[in-house]
């Protein structure tokens, strides 16, 4: 139920019969039609359903050749998309269109069909042709082989008769009425031409059949001979030929889960890992997962129409939302990858008041410090100075111009030790004399001398030897 099918709405009537063509993988496929969602995007497209489709909604230059000799060919792409062939000149002149490139077919037997209406009748020819008709001055029937179309009945220009190889039918057709001209063709074998009323697909007259050795891959429409004669073509399609047109057996309405759909990402098409993106759509409630390129994103918030998710590292590709109702369409999205950054090097312990350098092999980044239970400052070159005891986080932020990848290190800021006074020994010692050993209640320390006006040495055991007269400071 979550495999979307290509479809084309030929006609739609809220209070009557609608005609919708759906391309299905196999005969007997189960189809579910969802409706009633006013925000659902319009995806009706005949080019994904038929072997060939032209709705004239874009400039047809290059796809179709037009020939004008006293008449005009006008395309209207502002509305539904049409081409009008109008003979505005004097008698004997012509105007026509033909598709330039042969249309493809999936089987040797096929239908070519076109919807059209006439604004005034004299001679309007519709041809399935073996080659495009490129000259409005030439007679189409001579170059293409079959002379048929809709010709004026007597002096009445608003009524016509179907004309086939000089044999007029008795049935009349009206101006400003939608008709379907249909060719049922088997390559190199048979050729059938018929006209149907678009409102109910009823035949206006029995089909005309003949043998045909040609391979038909073009449609030519020509208006000839009389001013104020015109035809307007809505669309052209080519589809497989079957004994009967395919139909769908419609069952009762069933409360199937509603279609899950991603509509947009708020204008964003790219993001960096570990940042949030907004996914807007339909029936997104109770999402069980959001993946980007197959990598899970973390759902931050979730409503029926919106999901906020944190992008995971290493993900890039289509966004897919899974809910209890089904799986969404795949929505393309790009996730830029984080730059590779080396680890921070430096001491894990820094004393209050001390300045200690930190470094990183990845150059071009910036240093910062986040205070925790302790505090510190850091210079632009990575020198950390302890301010108060506790822990801080040293960060090095590197950007590749798109995404920033920070690396961090937790550092302890240590308070200075408070020690008991030095004991033992003597505050005076003679030059070349030695003192009694100095002691300290905390073992494991190191003795040193800071010379002042005098000088001395101290042994590892705390024995001071005087060198020159004056003062010196003993340090533990």
The pairing of beta strand 202-203 with beta strand 148-153: unpaired
| pTM > 0.85: yes or no | no
- Distance CA(271)–CA(315), nearest Å, equals 10
Is 46 strand, coil or helix?
helix
CATH, residue 218: 2.60.120.200
Domains in the chain: how many in total? 4
Structure tokens belonging to residue 143: 């170059």
Alpha helices in 329-415 (DSSP H): none
- Final residue of a domain: which of 309, 335, 361? 335
- Distance CA(56)–CA(71), nearest Å, equals 19
Please check whether residue 342 lies inside any domain of the structure.
no
- Distance CA(234)–CA(46), nearest Å, equals 13
- Distance CA(14)–CA(1), nearest Å, equals 24
403 and 363 in one domain? yes
Please check whether residue 16 lies inside any domain of the structure.
no
- Distance CA(64)–CA(51), nearest Å, equals 17
CA atoms within 13 A on the CB side of 304: 4
358 and 221 in one domain? no
- What are the C-alpha distances in Å from 115 to residues 11, 85, 237, 362? 12, 14, 9, 68
201 and 83 in one domain? yes
Please check whether residue 9 lies inside any domain of the structure.
no
Is 17 strand, coil or helix?
coil
Q: Are the beta carbons of 396 and 406 closer than 8 angstroms?
A: yes
- Distance CA(236)–CA(181), nearest Å, equals 10
- Final residue of a domain: which of 276, 304, 335? 335
Q: Are the beta carbons of 390 and 357 closer than 8 angstroms?
A: no
Q: To which residue do tokens 């007679």 refer? A: 139
- DSSP conformation class of 142: H
- Final residue of a domain: which of 240, 275, 292? 240
Domain span at 272: 261-335
Please check whether residue 405 lies inside any domain of the structure.
yes
308 and 401 in one domain? no
Compute the radius of gyration of the chain from its Cα atoms: 44
The pairing of beta strand 404-414 with beta strand 423-424: unpaired
112 and 170 in one domain? yes
319 and 382 in one domain? no
CB atoms within 10 A of CB 427: 8
Please check whether residue 183 lies inside any domain of the structure.
yes
Q: Is the dihedral of CA 50, 53, 58, 61 positive or negative?
A: positive
316 and 364 in one domain? no
> What are the pLDDT digits (tens) for 313-358?
766 789 999 998 788 888 989 888 888 999 999 999 998 999 999 9
74 and 213 in one domain? yes
158 and 269 in one domain? no
227 and 100 in one domain? yes
Please check whether residue 365 lies inside any domain of the structure.
yes
Please check whether residue 387 lies inside any domain of the structure.
yes
184 and 123 in one domain? yes
Which stretch of DSSP H or E encloses residue 317? strand 317-323
- Distance CA(189)–CA(211), nearest Å, equals 6
Q: To which residue do tokens 């057996």 refer? A: 249
184 and 280 in one domain? no
Structure tokens belonging to residue 378: 């850091």
The pLDDT tens digits along the chain (476 residues) read 567 889 999 988 878 788 889 888 776 667 777 776 667 788 899 999 999 999 999 999 999 999 888 888 999 998 779 999 998 766 667 888 999 999 988 788 899 999 999 888 777 888 888 888 777 555 544 334 455 677 766 556 666 767 765 455 555 688 899 999 998 888 878 888 888 899 888 888 778 887 777 788 888 898 887 777 889 999 999 998 876 666 655 555 554 455 788 989 998 888 998 899 999 998 899 999 999 988 899 999 999 999 999 998 766 789 999 998 788 888 989 888 888 999 999 999 998 999 999 999 999 999 999 999 999 999 999 999 999 999 999 999 999 888 899 999 999 999 877 778 899 988 899 999 999 999 988 888 889 999 999 999 999 999 999 999 999 999 98
Please check whether residue 30 lies inside any domain of the structure.
no
């Amino acid at each position: 139920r979550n495999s979307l099918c290509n479809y084309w709405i030929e006609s739609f009537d809220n209070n009557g019969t609608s005609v919708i063509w759906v391309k299905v993988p196999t005969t007997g496929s189960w189809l579910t039609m969802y409706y009633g969602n006013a925000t659902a995007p319009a995806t009706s497209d005949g080019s994904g359903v038929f072997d060939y489709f032209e709705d004239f909604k874009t400039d047809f230059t290059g796809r179709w050749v037009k020939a004008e000799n006293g008449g005009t060919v006008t395309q209207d792409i502002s509305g539904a998309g049409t081409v009008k062939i109008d003979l505005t000149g004097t008698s004997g002149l012509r105007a026509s269109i033909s598709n330039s490139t042969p249309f493809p077919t999936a089987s040797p037997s096929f239908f070519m069909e076109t919807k059209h209406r006439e604004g005034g009748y004299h001679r309007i020819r519709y041809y399935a042709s073996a080659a495009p008709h490129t000259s409005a001055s030439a007679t189409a029937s001579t170059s293409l082989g079959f002379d048929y179309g809709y010709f004026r009945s007597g002096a009445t220009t608003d009524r016509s008769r179907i004309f086939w190889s000089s044999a007029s039918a008795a049935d009349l057709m009206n101006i400003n009425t939608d008709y379907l001209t249909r060719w049922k063709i088997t390559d190199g074998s048979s050729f059938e031409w018929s006209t149907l009323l678009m409102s109910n697909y009823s035949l206006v007259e029995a089909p005309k059949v003949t043998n045909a050795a040609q391979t038909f891959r073009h449609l030519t429409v020509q208006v000839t001979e009389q001013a104020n004669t015109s035809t307007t073509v809505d669309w052209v399609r080519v589809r497989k030929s079957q004994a009967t047109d395919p139909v769908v057996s419609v069952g009762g309405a069933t409360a199937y889960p509603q279609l899950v759909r991603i509509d947009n990402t708020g204008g964003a098409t790219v993001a960096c890992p570990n940042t949030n993106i907004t996914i807007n759509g339909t029936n997104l409630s109770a999402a069980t997962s959001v993946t980007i390129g197959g990598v899970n994103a973390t759902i931050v918030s979730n409503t029926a129409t919106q999901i906020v998710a944190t992008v995971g590292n290493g993900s890039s590709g289509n966004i897919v939302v899974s809910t209890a109702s089904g799986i969404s369409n795949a929505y393309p999205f790009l996730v830029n990858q984080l730059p590779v950054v080396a680890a921070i090097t430096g001491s894990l312990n820094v004393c209050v008041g001390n300045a200690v350098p930190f470094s990183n092999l990845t150059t071009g980044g910036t240093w910062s410090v986040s205070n925790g239970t302790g505090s510190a400052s850091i210079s632009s070159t990575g020198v950390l100075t302890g301010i108060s005891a506790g822990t801080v986080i040293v960060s090095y932020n590197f950007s590749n111009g798109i995404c920033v990848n920070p690396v961090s290190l937790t550092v302890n800021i240590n308070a200075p030790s408070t020690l008991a006074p030095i004991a033992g020994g003597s505050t005076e010692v003679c030059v070349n004399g030695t003192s009694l050993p100095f002691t300290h209640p905390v073992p494991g320390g190191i003795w040193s001398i800071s010379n002042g006006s005098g000088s001395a040495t101290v042994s590892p055991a705390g024995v001071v030897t005087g060198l020159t007269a004056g003062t010196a400071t003993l340090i533990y």
